[in-house]
Structure 1
């Protein structure tokens, strides 16, 4: 029965089973690459959430900064109450139309906030003429605070997230095609390098437009960086272990998500947070000698000798014998793949809508 099942497998799956499709070699990659490699991906992929956080803010009034009033008392004198969706809230973008120079004199003479409010009562408000003050309970500084992305610039943080998504849509097919052309391993390290450079550069650019462009480039790399560790493992493990690889990677991603707020809480400054999280790209380059190229991809590129070297390395680590006539068998794998590719090219995008189940899955995944 087992022999019949083996004969029903594609030839490469049989070769992989012979060298060991989940032995010490693959377990080592899971232990030292997949799990620890995916955790930091969440850190430098999603640090933008904290970069663009907008703290509570109110109009900057230099006169009140010279007083000994608490922040709360200053806000009482500055911020008018406005209704938003039927709820009364303190205004972020307007201030009371008071003579704050005279108020400062009154404060220095010992007047209380309540008496000043009753004495200078005014129903008119004006836009903030001198910028904003920001609440520092959670952050010392964010990108939104640095460039004052509030009030008339309120849509700008959302624009950053939108263009990050646009970058993903545009870049993913490019890097996906690149991984088919130059290999999974080289594409992975190229993406890590571009993420490192664009991520650090975005922290020190002098204007918001440059920041926006660099974050779009940086965000466009996230899906590829997330997928390639899985792909590298998928292509050297048996089919019955691929769900397990996805589960382990998802757990690692969740660990990264849960620990990222701790970095933001401890570091408090978006530049420092960006430096620490983005510099976790650097240890990835230590994987260069440890991480193998996908033997499946090498076979598809007719680089049989290199594929044999990697498969031999897998067999030796797993304590399995090296299969006989490996080069010839790999050539047969490539020929079969080429025939299947010719059949696939007869289809186009309309095949996604031709069959009921495929159409349903495509629509659901697109909406998600």
Structure 2
């Protein structure tokens, strides 16, 4: 008897699994906070050059002295979004002479920052502006590279030492690095710690997802796989609340790190995965957990149920390269990979762009976070009604068109229609969040069973590449400047999203279909018989390699 058969008798989502599932979802709140934390911690406030020899200079100061006003360089471009050049200042060539011809334009070395939204960010504290502005994107890229490394490293670790021990290792590393970064003295130590946070943080999320799904019956896995992302969205609300109340990057970092202390108690409440124990030949330990589940679920346990087979994946002979061994599988795999990258880039990038859309930063961030709840609700409600392909394509195309449309109110409107820009960005975020929920299910069903784990692992890595690109796209508008620069990131997100969504139409639908088991099944899936005949010989040769 396989473990899924046992879960059917124990209850696919009984009282024990519900309690465990909630515990495993709680860390997703912290994951959401960490994954978007740098948006607040490294936000670049409005700034200008500090006035020379003016001790009490602030961003808002209105000096009556012509000397002070002329020192601030007017931007060379027609950038209506800037009052002053943020990186240069005029220095007088002769004392007491206010003639503009006697001033030399120089790069400034000190800045003052607008403090209505943040009293201090890591960016403003270390002056990561002008020539060093790209360092903020580098830091975010390094964080998401840490996420990629964490997915690979802790995935292997969880398969080697078990889900429970690996999860606890990630919690310990996360706790130490999250508190350590609060007092990072300079940029290098900051990004090193953020890299570690990214690895441990998402490593914990991945293990929680796997452990939760391994304890849930087959009919509940789609639901369970999406609901955990709702807790991720709760983490975004927690983050924006902490930012709004605290306004200082160190206090915000402490607020994000604090809940990690609670996760240390999981050693006493979270069991090892019975599936993993069975696969390791540790049958007695698995039986103990199964008996405990039966007791909590108030199910009478038949001893025959304890005769568990561990051959669920023994027949697997597929390898990751088999996804590229045939033209059909190659095209489908590349389309899925492209969608994973674009969904991730758009999801994170639109939120990173919150501070550049005009209006109140915290309101923008809050709205972009809260709209994830209807997005996931739509995913759950429509997934089994209109199908995976149509739903994913709809999310990507509608969200992408909304982002593309922002170019019109930004270029041809004024501040009075800023809510229109925000509304379009919100629709874009709904599209990316909803697509994120669908792509997990769609990909898992399209990849043949023999390469499903490998395919999903590779997809997750590709998604991290999209996350690494997101901060550069989000900051691309700063390089261009002006109104077009304000719209440029959303235009890029929108165009790529529409392209990825339309490419999905080339994929077969998986709703109510018997899923492919072998590579041969994967090639046949969704195709008529006359299109398959020319592929069979090629596949049979490649699978023998």
Give 1:255 deviation, angstroms. 1.8
CA contact (8 A) 1:19 1:312 kept: no
CA contact (8 A) 2:25 2:208 kept: no
Aligned residues: 335
Correspondence list, 1:8-157, <5 A: 11-31=2-22, 33-61=23-51, 63-66=53-56, 71-73=61-63, 76-84=69-77, 87=80, 89=82, 90-98=84-92, 119-122=98-101, 124-129=104-109, 131-157=110-136
Give 1:184 deviation, angstroms. 1.2
CA 1:69–1:25 in 2, change beyond 3 Å: closer, same or farther?
A: closer
CA contact (8 A) 2:70 2:100 kept: no
Partner of 2:165: 186
Deviates further, 33-42 or 50-59: 33-42
Deviates further, 87-96 or 306-315: 87-96
Partner of 1:4: none
Give 1:160 deviation, angstroms. 0.3
Give 1:139 deviation, angstroms. 0.9
CA contact (8 A) 1:198 1:214 kept: yes
CA 1:84–1:70 in 2, change beyond 3 Å: closer, same or farther?
A: closer
Relative contact order, higher structure (CA 8 A, sep 6+): 1
Deviates further, 61-70 or 297-306: 61-70
Deviation by residue 1:194-223 (Cα, 9 ceiling, x = unmatched): 111112212223221111111112112333
- Check if 1:351 corresponds to 2:323: yes
Give 1:69 deviation, angstroms. 11
CA contact (8 A) 1:19 1:315 kept: yes
Deviation by residue 1:90-134 (Cα, 9 ceiling, x = unmatched): 11111122379859xxxxxxxxxxxxxxx44346321114x1111
CA contact (8 A) 2:7 2:217 kept: yes
Correspondence list, 1:216-227, <5 A: 216-227=195-206
CA 1:239–1:65 in 2, change beyond 3 Å: closer, same or farther?
A: same
Correspondence list, 1:126-275, <5 A: 126-129=106-109, 131-275=110-254
Give 1:315 deviation, angstroms. 0.4
Q: Report which of the two structures shows the higher radius of gyration computed on alpha carbons.
A: 1
Deviation by residue 1:259-314 (Cα, 9 ceiling, x = unmatched): 31121111111111111111211111122211111110111111111110111100
* Distance (whole Å) between structure 2 residues aligned to residue 172 and residue 27 of structure 1: 25
* Distance (whole Å) between structure 2 residues aligned to residue 100 and residue 321 of structure 1: 94
CA 1:350–1:99 in 2, change beyond 3 Å: closer, same or farther?
A: same
Deviation by residue 1:24-82 (Cα, 9 ceiling, x = unmatched): 11122234x14433222212332122111111122223533358996143874442111
CA contact (8 A) 1:18 1:321 kept: no
Partner of 2:437: none
Deviates further, 358-367 or 184-193: 358-367
CA 1:337–1:97 in 2, change beyond 3 Å: closer, same or farther?
A: same
> Aligned to 2:112, what secondary structure does the other structure show?
strand
Over aligned residue pairs, what C-alpha RMSD do you find? 2.6
* Distance (whole Å) between structure 1 residues aligned to residue 90 and residue 312 of structure 2: 73
Give 1:225 deviation, angstroms. 2.2
CA contact (8 A) 1:19 1:323 kept: no
Q: TM-score, normalization: structure 2?
A: 0.57
Where do 5+ consecutive residues of structure 2 fail to align?
344-545
Correspondence list, 1:277-316, <5 A: 277-316=256-295
* Distance (whole Å) between structure 2 residues aligned to residue 339 and residue 127 of structure 1: 66
CA contact (8 A) 1:43 1:278 kept: no
* Distance (whole Å) between structure 1 residues aligned to residue 191 and residue 78 of structure 2: 31
Q: TM-score, normalization: structure 1?
A: 0.82
